[in-house]
Structure 1
Amino acid sequence: MSGMSDAPEWRFELSRLDGAYAPATMRSYRADLDAFEAWCDVKGEIPFPATVAVVCSFIEDEGRTKAPSTVQRRLYAIRKMHRLLRMDDPTDDEEINLSLRRVKRRRSVRPKQAKGLTRQYLARFLAAQPDSPIGVRNRAMLALGYDLLIRRSELIALTTHDLEEACDGSYRVLIRRSKSDQFGEGRLAFTSPQTATLLRTWLAVRGPEIEWLFCPVYKNRPINRGLSTTTVKRLIKQSALRAGLSIAEVAEFSAHSLRVGAAQDLLYRGKDTTTIMRAGGWTSINVLARYLKKAEHNVWT
Structure 2
Amino acid sequence: MPQQTKHQADVQIESWITLQRDLGKAPNTVAAYERGVRHFAAFCRMASIDLLHARKGTIAAYLHHLCARPLGGGRTGDADRSLTPSPTMANASLRHRLTIIRLFYDHLVEEGLRDTNPVPRGRRGAIDGTRHQTARGLVPVHRTLPWVPSQDQWTTILKAARTEPIRNRLMLAFAYDCALRREELCALETSDLDPAQRLITIRAETTKTKTGRIVPYSSVTGELLAVYLRERRALSRARGPLFLSNSPRNWAMPISKWTWSKVIRAMGIRAGEPKLGTHTMRHLCLTDLARVGWDIHEIARFAGHRNVQTTLLYIHLSARDLSAKFAATAAELHEARLASIMEVQQ
TM over 0.5: yes
Q: Pick the aligned partner of 2:230 from 204, 210, 217.
A: 204
What is the rounded CA distance, in whole Å, between the counterparts of 2:218 and 2:122 in structure 1?
49
Normalised by the size of structure 1, how large is the TM-score? Answer: 0.79
- Structure 1 residue 47 and structure 2 residue 51: aligned? yes
Q: 1:62 to 1:216 in 2, by over 3 A?
A: same
Decide which of 154, 162, 165 is 2:195's aligned counterpart: 165
Q: Is the 8 A contact 2:191 2:239 kept in 1?
A: no
1:4 aligns with 2:26: no
1:251 is matched with: 274
What is the letter of the counterpart of residue 298 of structure 1? R
Q: What displacement does 1:103 show?
A: 3.5
Contact 1:116 1:259 (8 Å CA) reproduced: no
Partner in structure 2 of residue 283 of structure 1: 306
Superposed, 1:53-92 pairs within 5 Å as: 53-65=57-69, 66-84=89-107, 86=111, 87-88=113-114, 90-91=116-117
For 1:253-283, what per-residue CA distance to the aligned partner results, in whole angstroms no more than 9, with x for missing partners? 2111010011122222222322222221123
Corresponding position of 2:25: 21
- Write the distance in 2 (CA, Å) between the matches of 1:61 and 1:99: 24
User: Within the alignment, does 1:143 sit opposite 2:173 as a pair?
Assistant: yes
Q: Which residue of 1 aligns with 2:267?
A: 239
Q: How many residue pairs end up in the alignment?
A: 284
Taking structure 1 as reference, are residues 112 and 270 closer, same or farther at Cα in structure 2, changes over 3 Å only?
closer
Give the Å deviation of 1:111. Answer: 3.1
Inter-partner Cα distance in structure 2 for 1:89 and 1:232: 45
Give the aligned residue type for 1:259. Answer: R
- Describe the SS at the equivalent of 2:200: strand
2:73 matched residue in structure 1: none
Unaligned runs of 5+ in 2: 70-88, 124-133, 324-346
Amino acid at match of 1:4: K
Q: Following the alignment from structure 1 to structure 2, what is the Cα–Cα distance between the partners of residues 109 and 73?
A: 13
**Greater relative contact order: 1 or 2 (C-alpha under 8 angstroms, separation 6 or more)?**
1
Structure of greater Rg: 2
Does residue 121 of structure 2 align to residue 111 of structure 1?
Answer: no
What secondary structure is seen at the aligned counterpart in 1 of 2:215? strand
- What RMSD, in angstroms, separates the aligned Cα atoms of the two structures? 3.2
CA 1:49–1:161 in structure 2 vs 1: closer, same or farther (change >3 Å)? farther
Structure 2 residue corresponding to 1:229, chosen from 257, 268, 271 = 257
Residues 202/118 of structure 1: CA separation in 2 closer, same or farther (3 Å cut): farther
Q: Distance in 2 between matches of 1:93 and 1:78?
A: 7
Q: Distance in 2 between matches of 1:99 and 1:47?
A: 25
Would you say the 8 A contact 2:188–2:242 is kept in 1? yes
Contact 2:244 / 2:253 at 8 angstroms: preserved in 1?
A: yes
TM-score between the two structures when normalised by the length of structure 2: 0.70
1:186 Cα shift? 0.7
Partner of 2:77: none
Question: What is the rounded CA distance, in whole Å, between the counterparts of 2:138 and 2:120 in structure 1?
Answer: 13
Identity %, equivalent residues: 23
> SS of 1:80's equivalent?
helix
Distance 1:118 1:194, change over 3 A: farther
User: How many Å separate the matches in 1 of 2:154 and 2:280?
Assistant: 10
Q: Which amino acid aligns with 1:235?
A: V
